[in-house]
Amino acid sequence: MKKTKKALAVAAIICAAIATSILATWLSAIVEEEPPGIEAYAPANTDDPAGRQIDWDALPPEIVAWVEVPGTSIDEPVAQATPDAPNAYLHADAIGQGAYGTPYIDCEGSVDSRYVMVFEHHMSDGSAFADFASFIDEGYAREHAKIIVYRRKGETLNLRPVAVDVVNASRERLVIDQEAGFGKIVEGSDLILEEPVEDGQLFAFTTCSYQTRNSKTTVFAVWGYNAH
């Protein structure tokens, strides 16, 4: 009986050691497989006279742009949605950073369209596009009046916010009309900061804002060919 107990004790120790070894190996695998942080793809380097350098080659091809709003937490890659899966990036993380999706351009347009709609979540920790919801405050909007879009093919667009609109998405929705004038698109917005120029691109950054159960805030920002 004593030998049996001793054998069981030794077996238990061996099993515990094996389990510990397996756990350590598993944890090591997790550490080794952890994707690089966003800063690995787009390090902030204000000392570089050429501006921010993004490692596009390390990013998947569906990432067509990068958006940054200095002084906020908005610093995100932007994917291009496709007609066969228009809402896929609401949950799909294109670069393996988390489970809250990826900012994405509506499938009816592209980063080169005259009118570009970009959607992303408003996370409770202040990440993703949460800070865009604060643009409804005019002081905040004017304090953060520079929105930078880096396009994959090399251009850097310095946008200016021109209007902010809050809607109940259960009753209203943004409609893409590439032929409409920018002034017509932003008219009726809750906050007008300036009249948009008509010769460039109009971006519409949209996120949840929770004034109602289904409120959305859209920040309209313009880039003009004569002012880039």
11 & 113 share domain: no
Share in percent of the chain as helix, strand, coil (round to 5) = 25, 25, 45
pLDDT for the residue 212: 72
**For residues 90, 92, 93 and 96, what is the CA-based torsion angle, rounded to 10 degrees?**
160
pLDDT for the residue 36: 62
Full domain range(s) for residue 162? 40-223
pTM: predicted TM-score of the whole model, two decimal places: 0.79
124 & 19 share domain: no
23 & 48 share domain: no
pLDDT for the residue 176: 79
Domain contains 228: no
Place of tokens 């990068």: 66
pLDDT for the residue 43: 77
* Cβ atoms 170, 221 nearer than 8 A: no
147 & 66 share domain: yes
Which parts of the chain register pLDDT below 50? 1-34, 227-228
d(CA 87, CA 81): 7
pLDDT for the residue 14: 34
CB atoms within 10 A of CB 99: 7
- Burial letters 104-133, b for 16+ CB under 10 A, else e: bbbbebebebbbbbbbbbbbeeebbbbbbb
CATH code, domain with 216 = 2.40.260.10
28 & 131 share domain: no
21 & 59 share domain: no
Count how many domains the chain has: 2
d(CA 176, CA 218): 13
